[in-house]
Every structure is written in C-alpha cells, then in structure tokens.
Amino acid sequence: MTLFKQIALLVSLMFLLLASIIVVNDFSRTGDFLQGQLQTTAQDMATTLGIAISHSNSGDDEATLEVLFNSVFDSGYYSIIELVSMDGTIIHRKSQKISVDGIPNWFLRLVPLEPAQGSTQVMKGWSQLGQLRLSLHPGFAYSGLYNTLITTLQWFAVLFIAAIFILWLLLDYLLRPLQRVKQQADSIHRNQFVQQFKIPKTLELKSVVLAMNQMVAKVQTIFSDQESTLLRYQKLLYNDKLTGLGNRRYMLEQLQQSLSSESSFHGSFGVIKLVNFEQLRERHGYQIPDQMALKMAQLIGQSWAGFKAEKVARLSEDEFAFLVAADEDTVVEFIKNIYTDCKQSELFNQYAQEVYLAGGVSALETGQTMGDLLAGIDYCLSQSVSAGPFSIEQKVSTSLDLPKGKMQWRTWLDEVLDSSRLFLVGQLAIDNSQRPVQRELFIRVQNKQGQVIPASAFMPMATGLGLAIEIDKFVFKLISQHLSHYQGVPLALNLSASFFECAEAQEAFAQLLIDCRLQEVQLCIEASHHILLQHPGMCSQLSERAKKQGHQFGIDNLDLGQPLQLLQTAQFNYVKINANTLCGMSSDEVSSGFQALKTLTDTLGIRIIAVAVDSQQLFDQLNQLGVKAMQGNFLNEAVRIDG
C-alpha cells in the first residue's frame, strides 16, 4: 500500500470518527431538546383549546366542538384530539394516522422521540365539563432532523473529498524528492549515476536525499576509479607508447582468442611493414621515423568506404598489424588504399628512396595454431619485400574445399542455404559446481565432401556478399524449430553486425523471442564489444527488450582497451573475456588489473565468464582468481545440435 493510500485511509477513519461523534452527540442533545419542546407545545395547545371550549356558550355542542377541533387538527401535527366527560364518555374525538415518508428506520432508532401528550380540564360555567387530551406526533420533527442530517453529511463528503485532494497535492509535492530517490536507485540498477541537486526543505526528506546523493557519488567514484585502473593497466600492458595502438602482446592475445573454436570473430589478419625502417633511424635519428610510425597508425585507423580495421597493433618498430572482419580480397583492397594515401603523403615522398611499404594477408582459420599463422604471415612479408615497394602477398593454405572467386562463393552460399546444410553446435559454459550456465551456439556447414566448415571460413565472404543477414535469419529459424529440445539451459546466441544494420533481421529476431517465450526457453543474447560500441543506441534498446522478456544480455569478447562506458549505458548480465587475458591481468606487473575488473563488474552486478579455457593450467589459475564461470575445449567440446 502506498504512503498516500495509508494517509488517506487514516484521514478517512478520522473523518468518519469525527462525523459519527458530531452526529450522535448533536442529535442526542437535539432529541432531548425536541422532546421537551414537543411536550410543551402539546400542553400549551391543550390549555389553549380547553380555554376556547370553556368560553364557548355551548361546550357540548357537536358543531361548535367540530369547528374548534378542526382549527387545531388541520395543522396536521396532531394525531389525536379528544374531549372526555367525567364519567369517561367521549364527548368529541378526532384522530388521524400520521406517517412521514422517506425517513429510514435506523434514523428513528438513532433519535427516539415519543409522541407528546397534553391534557387540561374543561369547565362549563362553574361545573367541570370533562378533560381535553391531545397527542402531538413527532414525525415532522423527524423529517426536519433527517433533512438536517443529510445536509450535514453532504457537507462532510464535500469537505472530505476536498481534504483528500489537497492531501494528494501536498503529498505529491512533498514526496517528489522520494520519487527522485527511487529514480536514482533505478538508475544505479541500470548502471547510471544520477544525483539530486534540488534538495527538499523538509528535514527528514532532506537527510534521505543527501544520504542517497552520497551513496550515488561513492558508487560512481568506485566505478570511475576502477575504470581508470583498468585503463592504466591496459596502457601499461597492451599499448604502444608512441602510437597509442596495441602492442605485440595485445595482438598476440587477440589472435589467440580469434583462432579459438569458440570465437565469434570471422575475418583476416593483415600486416604492413616499413622496409628499411631501422636504417632510416640510423641516418636521421628518432624524429622522422617516429613521425612515419604515427602517420601509419593514423592511416590504418581510418575507415575506407565504410570499412575499418577492428583491432590494430604495432608488432615491432617497423610492423603494423590489424584484424579485419572481412575476406582476404577486401583486406588487400584496404592495404592498397593505405598505399595510395602513403604515396600522396609528403613525409613518405620525401624519404621514398629509403623506406617503402610491403604487406601480407592471411585468413584466420579455426583450429589453426598461432605459430602457423605468424610463420605464414612472415613468409608473406618476406615475399612481399622481395617483390618490391608497395606489394602485397596473400597466404592461401587451407585443407578445406572452398570456392575460389566471389561468383563461386555466392553460388556456394546460395546452395548451402537452399539445401539447409547449415547446422548448429553447442558448447556449455559451466560454473564451479559443474552446473551449466549457458550453451553457446556456433554455426557450421557440412560441404558435399563431408568436411565441417567453421563460420570463420565462410562468414567474411558472406558478409561481403550481403548474405550474412540470410544466414542470421536461417539460424533464428533453426533455433525456433527445435526449442522444445533446449529447455533447461539458456541458449547463448551471438549476434552479427548485420543484425544491427538490417530491419529485416529485427523482425526475424522478434519472432524468435516470441517462440522462446511460448516454449519457456531463455536466451543469452550477446554481441562482440566492437559491434556494440558501433551501435550504442540499439545496444540499450536490445538490453531493455531482453530484460523485459526474461532473457539475458551480455558482451562477447570484452576488449579492455576500449572505453568501458558501454557498461553503464546498458544492463549487462555477463561479459566474456579470454582466459589468457584474465590470467595476464593477475601478474605481478599489473596485479591490480584483475581486482579492478572484478570490483567494477561486481559493482554493476555483471558476471565474468572466462572463454577459451583450453588447459589445466588456465583452469587452475582461473579458480585461484575466483572466476566462477568458464567455457572452453578443456571443459567440454562443442557438439552438434540436431534437436
């Protein structure tokens, strides 16, 4: 019950009690007064009528008595008037039955008035004629009292309604600070920190508002401090001091995560080398080479035709690497665009005879070791250096039977969708008690040769050809068809970038949510940190939508190098972080890193799920850190889900 209802109930009871006391007391006194007045009136009228009869010449004449009786009786207040002789004989009598309509019985019981009796001796000369008796009925007194009561109650009702309305206005005004306190609490639940600057004058409310402001400020300080600690940790461990890009350690960790079977990243790895960079430094010192390094960082970080590298790092003094969610041909075009900008740069033109660029590109293949990937890209770079300035070499090494050109890729993907050769595999994330937390779904294709092709092999080309949305819709449909087999463990569904860019995908996803609600299946909706940063508005909407329908919302592949303000703009249930990243954060070099992350996520009520747990050593380290949810091939393999 709200405070207004409680106070309104109390006021109502007080009004009812006050009205009852006033009415009962007033009518009790009025009843006594009226009873006396009726008796006096009846006696006075009896005396007056008796005198009139005594002074008439014919006291026993029926006509005369009728006239005298009628003069009194016609007023309507008297029920009986009679003249009785000394021997008891009725000389003359008039009576009528008086009833007053519209007066309830409870009112008659509330004010009990008895009929007033009046009597007097009637003389005829010096002899006694008889006794005159009359009875005054209280009905008209009851009628007047009842009308007075109704009027009184109506005024009480008007005053009561007015009092309740004024009370509502007063409480609404006085309790607005409490409403804002509630909004503050709700904002904290949404990971937002709002303070009240309008302080109420009521002492009790003022103390509550000030206390809430202090709490909000403290929570915000904790969040800001831990975020600053994480940023310092990121810069110390993963940033190149000169360019601000990621360093070699950062890129190796991103590669390791992207190559894991659980990764949702599908794309290519590119490296651009500044050939003869060391010789340039020996000849001209540090200033010119540093300017070139900064220029390269700027060129790689900019977008081209809507295409932008997601993760960029400076592997060494003269090598810049990046991961791109696209096929190799698109990456080659991206590098060519960088080459064009470099050729137009005054700085590079000035030293074109001393330094030139060479590039290498390699596709990321699930299951490929990082050593093989780096060895292959080094070979591409050496071939590119030998080929001459502004050359690019691609690494083509895969045992999978895949199409070669874009036309062949489109035909192949259309056939895959038409023949329904797409299927899902699921891998469980478990807690410390071996209980399943969620089952993450991954998409696979089985080609005509029976080979199982991971998403990393075909999704970059599907995205480039505009078919990613069709694959997303097929996955939504595939999940809906077998929801009855998924009950018990929440399903983790990783959304692609095409989902956030196409309204058609939103409609298909809405149908999936309806199907999940009907089958009572909970979804863990997630997307990569990079995608969510590109669509913050839709991120907040999706979070609210998921929470309202009983689903969870999370971040896949949380990048600690990115601003963490996203954690405040949407309500996340969990974040997924690479196991090696978490273990690296606990090293002596940056021992406060993991503690800052844990404090931050605990403050916001976000669960950490460690992914890519592929060894006993990682598992033991994560347990020591207190990570309570893990996922990886060491714990359980991804298995096909056929419903």
The DSSP code sequence of 48-81 is: HHHHHHHHSS-TT-HHHHHHHHHHHHTTS-EEEE
Q: Are 558 and 608 in contact (CB under 8 A)?
A: no
- DSSP run (H or E) holding 319: strand 319-324
Write out pLDDT tens, residues 502-546.
Answer: 777 888 888 898 888 888 899 999 998 888 888 888 888 888 888
Predicted pLDDT of residue 307: 67
Domain 411-641 has CATH 3.40.980.10: no
Question: How many angstroms separate the CA atoms of 95 and 91, rounded?
Answer: 14
Q: Is residue 3 helix, strand or coil?
A: helix
Q: Across-strand partners of 553?
A: 525
Place of tokens 């900019």: 302
Predicted pLDDT of residue 629: 94
Predicted pLDDT of residue 261: 60
Predicted pLDDT of residue 359: 92
CATH number assigned to the domain with residue range 248-395, chosen from the 4 options 3.30.70.270, 3.30.1280.10, 3.30.460.10, 3.30.70.1380: 3.30.70.270
- DSSP run (H or E) holding 234: helix 203-238
> Per residue in 478-503, is it b (16+ CB within 10 Å) or e — as a string?
bbbeebeebeebbbbbbbbbbbbebe
Spans in the chain with pLDDT lower than 50: 590
Predicted pLDDT of residue 525: 93
Q: Is residue 418 helix, strand or coil?
A: helix
Name, in order, each residue with C-beta under 8 angstroms of 509's C-beta and a sequence gap of 6 or more: 476, 495, 499
CB atoms within 10 A of CB 109: 8
CATH fold for the domain made of 3-171: Beta-Lactamase (3.30.450)
Question: How many angstroms separate the CA atoms of 100 and 141, rounded?
Answer: 10
Place of tokens 């290498």: 360
Q: Is residue 465 helix, strand or coil?
A: coil
Q: What share of the chain is helix, strand, coil (3-state, %, to 5)?
A: 55, 20, 25
Predicted pLDDT of residue 183: 77
Write out pLDDT tens, residues 352-384.
Answer: 888 889 999 988 876 677 888 888 888 888 888
> Running DSSP on this structure, what letter comes out for residue 238?
H
Place of tokens 């600053």: 228
Are β-strands 78-85 and 90-95 bridged in parallel, bridged antiparallel, or unpaired? antiparallel
Question: How many angstroms separate the CA atoms of 4 and 96, rounded?
Answer: 56
Question: How many angstroms separate the CA atoms of 635 and 643, rounded?
Answer: 22
Q: Are 554 and 290 in contact (CB under 8 A)?
A: no
Q: Across-strand partners of 361?
A: 270, 394
Work out whether the CA dihedral 372, 376, 377, 378 comes out positive or negative: positive
Question: How many angstroms separate the CA atoms of 272 and 360, rounded?
Answer: 7
Predicted pLDDT of residue 304: 67
Predicted pLDDT of residue 182: 77
> Per residue in 331-352, is it b (16+ CB within 10 Å) or e — as a string?
bbebbeebbeebeebeebeebe
Question: How many angstroms separate the CA atoms of 68 and 71, rounded?
Answer: 5
Domain boundaries, the chain: 3-171, 177-238, 248-395, 411-641
Mutual angle of helices 176-189 and 139-174, in 10-degree steps: 50
Q: SS3 letters for 542-557? A: HHHHHHHCCCEEEEEC
Predicted pLDDT of residue 428: 92
Write out pLDDT tens, residues 55-112.
Answer: 775 556 677 777 777 777 666 577 777 878 777 777 778 777 666 667 777 776 766 6
